[in-house]
Structure 1
Amino acid sequence: MILQVKSCPSQVDRSEVIRSNLNPVFAKVFMVDYYFEEVQKLRFEIYDIHGHGGIGTHDDDFLGGMECTVGQIVAQKRVSKPLFLKYGKYAGKSTITVTSEEISGDNGFVELFFRAKKLDDKFVKNNLSPIWEPFKVSLNSLCSCEEKRKLRVAIDFTASNGDPRNSCSLHYINPYQPNEYLKALVAVGEICQDYDSDKKFSALGFGARIPPNYEVSHDFAINFNPEDDECEGIQGVVESYQNCLPKIQLYGPTNVAPIISKVAKVAAEEEKTKEASQYFILLILTDGVVTDMADTREAIVRASYLPMSIIIVGVGNADFTDMQILDGDDGVLRSPKGEPVLRDIVQFVPFREFKNASPTALAKCVLAEVPKQVVEYYSYKALPPRSQKGSSTPDATLNSPQ
């Protein structure tokens, strides 16, 4: 059994070889650093060993492999995929399931168990039993709670962005090059979608006149369905954004407090469950300084008591100096009445600083503080991860055939 990190050509490690055993149990522990703000691709490979040089030599039969991300394992707790041979061919009915079953309370490690279920004739012919074969994978994590991170997107449609039909507009849709709004959306969204089980994302707009009456709205669904503002995956958000542009009139002002309050209302309902179930990330994409700063500060202070974080990406070349106030890195953000935030939940990043960088660099920067913010919230609420409540040691069931 081999574990490989896709970003690195070398193998992370190999499991031990168990010979002449119809019911092998792999005990090898693999250590892989877990970073919430990155897409970390893993590859698992299975070999039938014939030689004496270890796994993966030219004498051994490659039985198949599977790829997934660390984020998928941590978020879903159970990732099942078919084994593939080279060139995308299925390896019969064989599957691999990676399961996260236990989180230790002290050392910050998430305990995962790799299980390969062997079902087709090739495995039987090679004298391998069709059972689950586990080995542990420990992932170092500040944010290994079982809660799902729900992404909410808010896009600035104020007139200062420029006419979308003009190539100089920040909302111009170039068929060959995504605009800055799309670059920021995809960079952050592709990370967050691993932690969202249903892959549906709420997508809102603000600062535009919308049909049918063309009144200004600061919290409208960009799919124009007020009863269900969620889109299917990040690609669904992208399509709704592109379809929305010809139907609205960019206007103003740049008010974001209504968006923050709308998401906070949903987060407040989650708080009432008193479980570590869902944590909300609001991604605000804007081309200018907010015009309702007092109301925004008040809304952020209220939101700091709820299971949510706010990421603001400044698009374009505006002077975003005043936006740094919301970030709180240079001092504690306070409401107009002087009440401080409970937690620093806002991260502001000007997109221009990452214009020539990779999407990964932007995502790492804007999401870097989220794990800390999640831990601070659940620590304040004294809520342990749900997987720690009444958890039992999974090893007791690992050897039983499925």
Structure 2
Amino acid sequence: QGGGGLRCRQPAQTLIVLFYCLFFHHFSLFTLICFSSLLQFGRTEVIDNTLNPDFVRKYILDYFFEEKQNLRFDFPTYFLLFFQHFLLHCLQDFLGQMFCTLGEIVGSPASRLEKPLGGIPGKKCGNVILTAEELSNCRDSATMQFCANKLDKKDFFGKSDPFMVFYRSNEDGTFTICHKTEVVKNTLNPVWQPFTIPVRALCNGDYDRTIKVEVYDWDRDGSHDFIGDFTTSYRELARGQSQFNVYEVSRSSHSSLLTTQQHVTLLSFSSTSLHYMNPYQLNAYAMALKAVGEIIQDYDSDKMFPALGFGAKLPPDGRVSHEFPLNGNMENPYCNGIEGILEAYHQSLKTVQLYGPTNFAPIVNHVARYAAAVQDGSQYFVLLIITDGVISDMAQTKEAIVNAAKLPMSIIIVGVGQAEFDAMVELDGDDIRISSRGKLAERDIVQFVPFRDYMDRTGNHVLSMARLAKDVLAEIPDQFISYMKSRGIKPNPAPPPYTPPGHTHHHTQI
């Protein structure tokens, strides 16, 4: 914008095309110093015409408490001179730099560090504000699309050029920008393009964390006009297109709230989460549970099953649990049939926050305590574990399975998702009997199958689930018999044949 010339327009190519103008972009160059060598780690995006840039791009770093991890932030400015589509010259200026350690950021109050830029003697160069937050182990992403109607008209000679800015809330109550939509030109009823964003970038895996969305009218000089804002959460967005995801865009001041009839609507939402509840189709967890459970429940007299979850933060205090009742009742975790388990599962997804690590041992030991109390052959327990394949306590789980092999129980593991299931195959023990601390399991009690191997390409889920149930339950009868034989438990005598009242058997001699 230098010299009052015409503004440039940025085409799809990487080359920036300007007409008869001298203007500059500025960006920060984020550099990580490691073992006395300089390693450029990344660059932020370009933000035009501002002295207070708030960068969207974030960086993921491995943090080591016991190491000093030096960081350097450089802020150069580039002046690009164009004439009739041709780059004539590139000049570089230096705005300053800042040094710190990753530990300084983490150790600052609320993990928020503010330090002045240096590097230019006798000149104040401004401040840099850095924040850090521990990432959840959530690997899911969400794809969503928004539209708006009757937005405020901000341009004198035309309609607004609206775009949206998404902010995630931080633990100290502040907000950090995490996404910007594209600008939709000259309309009060924009439809933005769908975008995909990692869930941990949006809310760090906390589905109830506040998400703030601001709507602006784009201006060429960078002084974008504020149209309004609204707040939501990932849990609300995950409801998809519904009455709950129509938001009134309002402007607020210190003294009053001015509300206009302008709305932003969620047009579509989808998630890569294996727990995502599509209103038209069961997710992989529910399909596996239904396929196996509907067969095995016929061998239970009262059809009441304890259903447990593992790897989640529980309300109200966010305590991490690896064996919690899906129905929320610690005293009575039983659910009525498979439909009752599915209902409890769906309800739990609305209240708990999925969280790592994923530990199997507590669940195996939980069921083993039930089995240990009934070893007379009157009951046999089957534990069905549905998991994404990421196991964090392999050694403890092996020990729990070796101990459980002496008890009247079997374990079925169904792996969902695209993860590598090497650990699950090892637990299966078909080729090599599982052992712990040099002690072999007395019996093979684990059966593992990957859910993806049973997905029918034609979409015939009924056939797929029938095949899954057949294979996953195939070993249960032999495991049941092997336990009874090892304990010398024989079947009870067959009851006498039923004789209707008043009926007498007649024997004929030949």
Give the TM-score normalised by structure 2: 0.45
Shift of 1:193: 1.2
SS at match of 1:172: coil
The residue number in structure 2 matching 1:382 is 488
Determine if the alignment matches structure 1 residue 394 to structure 2 residue 394: no
SS at match of 1:247: coil
The residue number in structure 1 matching 2:409 is 308
Shift of 1:289: 2.9
Kindly indicate whether the alpha-carbon contact (under 8 Å) linking 1:158 and 1:254 is maintained by their aligned counterparts in 2. no
Aligned residue type for 1:202? P
The residue number in structure 2 matching 1:259 is 363
Shift of the 222–394 alpha-carbon distance from structure 1 to 2, 3 Å rule, reads same
Shift of 1:173: 0.5
Shift of 1:359: 1.1
The residue number in structure 2 matching 1:142 is none
Q: Which has the higher helix share?
A: 1
The residue number in structure 1 matching 2:339 is 235
Structure of higher CA gyration radius: 2
The residue number in structure 1 matching 2:471 is 365
Shift of 1:184: 0.1
Kindly indicate whether the alpha-carbon contact (under 8 Å) linking 2:389 and 2:423 is maintained by their aligned counterparts in 1. no
Kindly indicate whether the alpha-carbon contact (under 8 Å) linking 1:327 and 1:348 is maintained by their aligned counterparts in 2. yes
Shift of 1:392: 5.2
CA distance in 2: counterparts of 1:160 and 1:375, whole angstroms: 42
Unaligned runs of 5+ in 2: 1-135, 142-198, 200-234, 239-269, 457-462, 505-510
Kindly indicate whether the alpha-carbon contact (under 8 Å) linking 1:289 and 1:323 is maintained by their aligned counterparts in 2. no
- Residue deviations 1:116-155 (CA, integer Å, cap 9, x gap): xxxxxxxxxxxxxxxxxxxxxxxxxxxxxxxxxxxxxxxx
Q: Which runs of 4+ in 1 moved over 4 A?
A: 160-164
Aligned residue pairs total 238
The residue number in structure 2 matching 1:331 is 432
Determine if the alignment matches structure 1 residue 206 to structure 2 residue 310: yes
1:349 to 446, 449, 472: 449
Shift of the 247–220 alpha-carbon distance from structure 1 to 2, 3 Å rule, reads same
CA distance in 2: counterparts of 1:294 and 1:278, whole angstroms: 28
Aligned residue type for 1:394? P
Determine if the alignment matches structure 1 residue 281 to structure 2 residue 382: yes
Determine if the alignment matches structure 1 residue 181 to structure 2 residue 280: no
Shift of 1:167: 2.1
Higher relative contact order (CA closer than 8 Å, sequence separation 6+): 1
Unaligned runs of 5+ in 1: 1-156
CA distance in 2: counterparts of 1:325 and 1:168, whole angstroms: 27
CA distance in 1: counterparts of 2:351 and 2:488, whole angstroms: 46
Q: CA RMSD in A?
A: 2.0
Shift of the 319–269 alpha-carbon distance from structure 1 to 2, 3 Å rule, reads same
Kindly indicate whether the alpha-carbon contact (under 8 Å) linking 2:140 and 2:271 is maintained by their aligned counterparts in 1. no
CA distance in 1: counterparts of 2:317 and 2:137, whole angstroms: 17
The residue number in structure 2 matching 1:13 is none
SS at match of 1:209: strand
SS at match of 2:279: coil
SS at match of 2:398: helix
Kindly indicate whether the alpha-carbon contact (under 8 Å) linking 1:187 and 1:363 is maintained by their aligned counterparts in 2. yes
SS at match of 2:440: coil
Shift of the 183–176 alpha-carbon distance from structure 1 to 2, 3 Å rule, reads same
